[in-house]
Amino acid sequence: MLTLKYIREHQEKVIERLKKKHFDAQGIIAQIVEEDNKRRQIQTEADKKQNELNSLSRTIGQLFKAGKADEANEAKTKTTTLKNEIKNLKATLTEVENKILELQVLLPNLPHSSVPEGKGEEDNEVVESGGEIPQLTDALPHWELASKYNLIDFELGNKITGAGFPVYKGWGAKLQRALIHFFLEEAISAGYQEVQPPLMVNEDSGFGTGQLPDKEGQMYHVGADNLYLIPTAEVPVTNIFRDVILEEKELPVKHCAYSACFRREAGSWGSHVRGLNRLHQFDKVEIVQIAHPDHSYEVLEQMIAHVRSLIEKLQLPWRILKLCGGDISFTSALTFDFEVFSAAQKRWLEVSSVSNFESYQANRLKLRFKKTGEKKTYLAHTLNGSALALPRVVAAILENNQTPEGIRVPEVLVPFMGTELIK
């Protein structure tokens, strides 16, 4: 969430920069400024009456001591009136402040200056690539390989729950566990502290990271308790720092977490969502950093390098895309997507997004830090990335490593799998 101070002082700049996200902010900003003017007027009036009340309260005792009972009682009556007026002004002030907040959350985060122009994913900029694309003959897609080797049962998941909830079996389940273990160990080696967060969050947590009120239609809602199943571990892990003031020397804070993730994916259909390409429940290891604003883009580069190293160690062909203004998320300032190539489907599959949210989430979370030797607090910057999301990684591993003898296990996973070949 953009701060009220920034919006008021940089109205034209906000309007202009949000055009890159194809968002017309002019009307909302005009309303915010109008409501903020009301807020200031009401606050001034309330302060004036409070000062008058304080002055009167001090004189009442003096008037009684001076034998001026009538004047003292008249002053008491006036204080009662002032108290009621102040109460009404504060109630109005709260209404106006709530209205400003409702308008503020309608504004997306400002895109970084390096975000490319564009309307959709076709305009994203490929910034780097690596690995070799396998040249396979008669390659089977992962859903057929999953059936052939009894790794994943999509129909059983459909029976138990519904489409998008697969059941992993045997080597398939072990591959999942191996990847989770590998990703976590790599994150820990990179200095991230592992946490195991809840799989459900409350409204305050959903608001803090920007899922609410923007994406409630994509989350599973537990109505009886008003809780939401997490779409990513980013939500609970980042909310560890909601309403927290950190010391500058504590930055950056680095956390990683494995969790199941739940997404309704409303409106998703077609051949591109077959098999593991689009699920309602999937596993992911997330990395989250709370960074000093002066260093958050250095941190972003470090996180990108970490994700790249995971894909390279799995020996998958990869590319990195810088998302354009029309494809970047509501809350992000700059996002890089990682894709791996699927040899059988002959298409690129997204396996990670790494983003810098600058102070947008921190303002919603009230996440601040104190600079050394200062009492003033400043908004921190938040960043996160998938390191990695499993389904499409599994799809690419199965498809790219298929041989007549079986499916080769990436070398880095052999110690966790206990085999070099799934037969």
286 is in an annotated binding site: yes
- Confidence at residue 5, expressed as pLDDT on a 0 to 100 scale: 97
Last residue of a domain, one of 104, 132, 161: 104
- Confidence at residue 76, expressed as pLDDT on a 0 to 100 scale: 83
Q: How far apart are CA 149 and CA 175, in angstroms?
A: 13
288 is in an annotated binding site: no
Residue 113 lies in a domain: no
For residues 312 and 394, state if they share a domain.
Answer: yes
352 is in an annotated binding site: yes
Taking CA atoms, 320 is separated from 124, 140, 208, 323, 337, in Å, by 10, 26, 28, 9, 6
Render each residue's pLDDT in the chain as its tens digit; 423 residues: 999 999 999 999 999 999 999 999 999 999 999 999 999 999 999 999 999 999 888 888 787 777 777 777 788 888 899 999 999 999 999 999 999 999 999 999 999 999 999 999 999 999 999 999 999 999 999 999 999 999 999 999 999 999 999 999 999 999 999 999 999 999 999 999 999 999 999 999 999 999 998 777 889 999 999 999 999 999 999 999 999 999 999 999 999 999 999 999 755 555 578 999 999 999 999 999 999 999 999 999 999 999 999 999 999 999 999 999 999 999 999 999 999 999 999 999 999 999 999 999 999 999 999 999 999 999 999 999 999 999 999 999 999 999 999 999 999 999 999 999 999
350 is in an annotated binding site: yes
Residue 368 lies in a domain: yes
- Identify the burial level of 313 via C-beta atoms within 10 angstroms of its C-beta, where 0-12 means exposed, 13-18 middle and 19 or more buried: middle
For residues 71 and 162, state if they share a domain.
Answer: no
- Which among 305, 284, 277 has a CA at the least distance from the CA of 128? 305
For residues 197 and 87, state if they share a domain.
Answer: no
Q: Is the pTM of this model over 0.75?
A: yes
Residue 168 lies in a domain: yes
274 is in an annotated binding site: no
Strand ranges across the sheet with 245-247: 245-247, 368-370, 377-379
Residue 331 lies in a domain: yes
Helices (H) and strands (E) in the chain, counts: 13, 18
First to last CA, the chain: 51
For residues 250 and 336, state if they share a domain.
Answer: yes
Query: In this structure, which amino acid lies at residue 276?
Result: L
Residue 261 lies in a domain: yes
Mention every residue, 6+ apart, whose C-beta is less than 8 A from residue 28.
103, 106, 107
263 is in an annotated binding site: yes
351 is in an annotated binding site: yes
Q: 342 has which bridge partners?
A: 347
Residue 112 lies in a domain: no
Residue 345 lies in a domain: yes
Taking CA atoms, 265 is separated from 55, 211, 219, 233, in Å, by 61, 14, 8, 17
For residues 129 and 154, state if they share a domain.
Answer: yes
For residues 126 and 96, state if they share a domain.
Answer: no
CATH number at residue 52: 1.10.287
For residues 142 and 76, state if they share a domain.
Answer: no
For residues 196 and 292, state if they share a domain.
Answer: yes
- Confidence at residue 100, expressed as pLDDT on a 0 to 100 scale: 98
CATH number at residue 235: 3.30.930.10
For residues 46 and 148, state if they share a domain.
Answer: no
Residues 113-141 have pLDDT tens digits of 999 999 999 999 999 999 999 999 999 99
For residues 32 and 73, state if they share a domain.
Answer: yes
Instruction: Show the domain range for 145.
Output: 121-422
Q: How far apart are CA 351 and CA 338, in angstroms?
A: 6
Instruction: State the total domains in the chain.
Output: 2
Residue 281 lies in a domain: yes
For residues 86 and 184, state if they share a domain.
Answer: no
For residues 284 and 410, state if they share a domain.
Answer: yes
